Structure 1
Amino acid sequence: MADPYASKARRARLRLAGIGAATVVALVVGGVVALTAFDDHSQPSQSDAKPSRSPSAGPSASSSSGKQFTPATAARIPLLRPAKSANGIGTGFEHSSLGATSAAVSYWEDLDLLDDVIARKQWTAIAAEDYPQTVDEGVSEVRKVREGVGLPPSGGTPDGVTFSTNVKAALTRSLDSSGDVVVVWMVYDRFAAIRGKGADESPLRDEVTYLVLKWQADDWKVTTDPSYAKKLTGPHAYDPDSPYAFMDGWREVADG
């Protein structure tokens, strides 16, 4: 499996050489390395993945009243909250497209990025039971980030380091005729901070990733089963001001 993080981790080491470990962690999580687990299959090209606020007008995406819609002007996705929690992550989403979208956004925003012990517990709670490799793959990505910034492969988050992920837009598509297997594409920002050093000066912005979810055990579960990855095709580039993006299915999320 190709490693989509290697070049970014290498740049991180070169750019941040000589800086204290905790500071490195904060900067890498927020501004250099994107922990976009499982997005190396069928993703858009680099030029297609980055949002743009270009003023150019595309063809009309109109309602019956003739109003042109874009992700920025259309109604936002009213995300559902998890009904319960397990192993430190929200679970319990309804069996619907909105439930799947809400689950993906909630998972992506709440997954731990640096503590591999917590990450394993979280992935165990949200991974599909029929493809347990998903748990190991999720934990492996956390360890790659740790090693990429000179930390031991296993351990907790350095004291004083905090980070947050904010999903701004999502697009959900079914991967089977039943609607019980879906892919949720997401556009997100990621920020980091370290106590005493202020906010992240170079946060990740407008990153694109996806999660494949299937309805299982009365909840939406994440799977990295390659049989589903083969069905993926990348969406058109997300642009908040583009009718093309709206017609493709991109929508902003209510709390993004």
Structure 2
Amino acid sequence: MTINRRNFLFLLGATTGTAALGLYPKTSFAQSQGSEEKPFKAIPLPYAYDALEPYIDAETMRFHHDKHYATYTKNFNAAISKYPQLANQSAEEIISDLDRLPQDIRTTVRNNGGGYVNHTMFWEIMSPKGGDRPTGELARAIDKTFGSFDKFKTAFNDTGSKQFGSGWAWLVLDRNKQLKIMGTPNQDSPLMMGMYPVMGNDVWEHAYYLKYRNERGKYLDAWWNVVNWDEVNKRYQQAMAS
């Protein structure tokens, strides 16, 4: 799980770049509820709970953001509070090298730090004005790597459908800055494997079950209607430039 310096600098440059691009706003959902200051903030949704309907329903978004995401954030902060020096690092840095963490918090950080980072990205790469398809450099890279955007969507959905149990489907940049599709279990992030997440779809049941029940495939198909390609493109361009 340890990554070398060159790969870490690539990841660090990409993840810190996302903050500069506004992917990780400073204002927190927790702060809006009057909670005490914590190193890692649960960001508010950048749209209303019902803004992604009919593709993702308001009740799902409310529970997903206010309950699941809030719990990941709370548990991540609790683990980090045992070792205050870790608060000087970004969440992405922390989860990128789990082997260096104290053993007593490693599993908690893997699950909850991963959940925090994954979801903080997830809210931002969706939009009520999303859909359509990527443009520019990312579109060309997808066509070159996968043959076409439609072939990419098929392969991405196939990965999401076949992810057993809870997990994520990802489009990542590997150590050679090549695009790949991969799945991870639970809240594991590609950062933990030395890869950078360009975009990801949450295939935990809590992300879709209230609306789609056991039909994950329908959720995967519908999700493309809310993908915020402007933000995904920014993530890709920043990572490629780092």
TM-score under structure 2 normalisation?
0.25
TM-score under structure 1 normalisation?
0.25
Structure in which a larger fraction of residues adopt helix: 2
Larger radius of gyration: 1
